[in-house]
């Protein structure tokens, strides 16, 4: 057994801490976040895997991203908020965030997992990122966790998904204006539901042709959705 332990070099957590940009009061939380279940099972005294931290980190990530989108994207309808949050908290995104930190080299894995490419496996890296979030949250509170998450989320929002945050009606208007003879009109085609929960349906017409349809809880939202569909059909 002692020979086996020599083959599992301990990660330099201080180096990882510097990459994370947060100073832990309790560094064992970070070690726990780096402990894959395969290592915990192989080394019974390892103090458990990162699975519980991953569970908590997933929720913290979700609320921080939802809160940020809600406050910073006031014109985005619920459907787009949901899609954008999903894109920012999915395995692919979290794996990418982990890669930026170089998390792979700090993971504690079993020999089998290590030899089968565990250090670069997307699911393991994504889980580790969520576990780091939970470790920061438990050690320093929500605001420290929020600052850490937004360091990754904000740049991704600005580069990867700029489209949902644009004003589709204005974009469509600017395109149509290039041809002075073209006329754009939004037509309310339906209104349903009680006053507190109305649903509006709108068509956008170019000259007399329907080029997009949309629905929403307000006429404004329905018009935006109709404009978005029109832009997609036009290849924008």
Q: Are 30 and 133 in contact (CB under 8 A)?
A: no
Q: Dihedrals φ, ψ of 158, to 5°?
A: -70, -30
How many angstroms separate the CA atoms of 5 and 169, rounded? 63
How many angstroms separate the CA atoms of 148 and 143, rounded? 9
Q: Is 200 helix (H, G, I), strand (E, B) or coil?
A: strand
Hey, which residues are catalytic here?
58, 130
| 111: Cα within 13 Å, side-chain hemisphere | 9
How many angstroms separate the CA atoms of 180 and 54, rounded? 56
CA 37, distance to chain mean position in Å, is 24
Q: Are 52 and 135 in contact (CB under 8 A)?
A: no
Residue 76: CB partners within 8 Å, gap ≥ 6? 69, 84, 164, 165
Residue 59: CB partners within 8 Å, gap ≥ 6? none
């Amino acid at each position: 057994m002692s020979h086996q332990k020599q083959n599992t070099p301990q990660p330099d957590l201080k180096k990882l801490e510097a990459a994370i940009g947060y100073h832990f009061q309790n560094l064992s939380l970070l070690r726990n976040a780096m402990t894959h279940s395969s290592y915990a099972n192989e080394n019974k005294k390892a103090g458990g895997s990162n699975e519980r931290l991953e569970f908590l980190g997933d929720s913290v990530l979700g609320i921080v991203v939802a809160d940020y989108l809600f406050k910073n994207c006031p014109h985005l309808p619920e459907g787009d908020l949901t899609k954008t949050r999903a894109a920012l908290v999915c395995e692919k995104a979290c794996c990418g965030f982990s890669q930026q930190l170089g998390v792979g080299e700090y993971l504690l894995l079993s020999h089998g997992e290590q030899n089968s490419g565990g250090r670069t496996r997307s699911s393991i890296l994504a889980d580790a990122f969520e576990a780091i979030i939970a470790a920061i949250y438990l050690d320093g509170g929500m605001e420290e966790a929020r600052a850490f998450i937004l360091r990754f989320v904000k740049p991704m929002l600005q580069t990867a998904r700029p489209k949902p945050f644009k004003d589709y009606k204005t974009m469509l208007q600017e395109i149509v204006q290039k041809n002075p003879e073209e006329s754009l009109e939004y037509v309310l085609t339906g209104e349903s539901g009680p006053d507190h929960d109305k649903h509006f349906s709108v068509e956008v017409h170019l000259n007399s042709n329907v080029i997009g349809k949309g629905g929403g809880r307000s006429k404004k939202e329905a018009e935006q959705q109709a404009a978005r569909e029109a832009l997609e059909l036009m290849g924008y």
